[in-house]
Chains A and B, each alone.
Chain A
């Protein structure tokens, strides 16, 4: 299971890159968060820096052979310029089981 937190403006590019690489099953959520990234907003003539910054989270369940492909695709397009603070992170976690609701099948073919 790959969890990628990316900048919202890169969502379209990342999805296109993943589809090009053959990964077409994806879940997308809006989240807020921060690492070292700070983003300025304007409010009533003042520049404010909110603590939590909008991000997009992608959850991709895939078989082991696709993990590297997916990560490479994301790394290729989710960077801003040569790479900026706030570009995001990818977490790779073991996926214990996967079940397809429609048929009830399990395992690698159910992904």
Chain B
């Protein structure tokens, strides 16, 4: 699959001082794919995008964009990214910012088409400093498509938008993607990933935790946590129960991660496990993925330490 890859990371490690933002990550994205990067803040999503867009270089490993080093401007001829909407040049008009970006590409979208796609036509003569937050966000996302890129990188494209504005943006992005572009979108909202991605890569603590199609990942994300207090000797039995994906200890209670919580509770009762203080909670995405990947790689339960490092990891912006 690496032969036709437009975006390719091979054994990429990137550190900021002592903090490892990406740890030996390999990933290949081919033409026309819609990939969602899902993970908590600090997981390494933005770092990954900054490597692909040539803003940073890896400490180890190689990054390729259209077969070239992304720090080479020629590699970026088919790349579109979004600026942070707060950073738009405030004295330039909307149409002018579009022209400035268009001027960098050999075959850009006409200004009118860009504005039309994102409902910005009426704002063309407005200075960006006078736009509302939502309008700026729309312009920022519009800029990613100005150059008719083959690869579009979107970092949290609709964060902070209301539901309607969010759907308008998703529609515009899907519409463009249907022309065959590759889209990589980061988000920590599952809903956004569902709207824009068909393949999902889950990142946590600088590693790829899962990489699968959307339905599979959604099924993983539906996992539940079943908490019970049992004598320590009973724990091996819990592991063997039908539907239990992972077992770990949290304080006095034992946490069972389950795809189907009802089935696990029934099994607990049927097997006559001496449990008390039963509680069922939704698992967070990260918990679900961390548990699944640690179970898959058969490592002796590194899940708790990995989970804490996800939440304490800091990601410089």
Q: Do A and B bind each other?
A: no
Residues in A lying within 8 Å of B, measured CB to CB: none
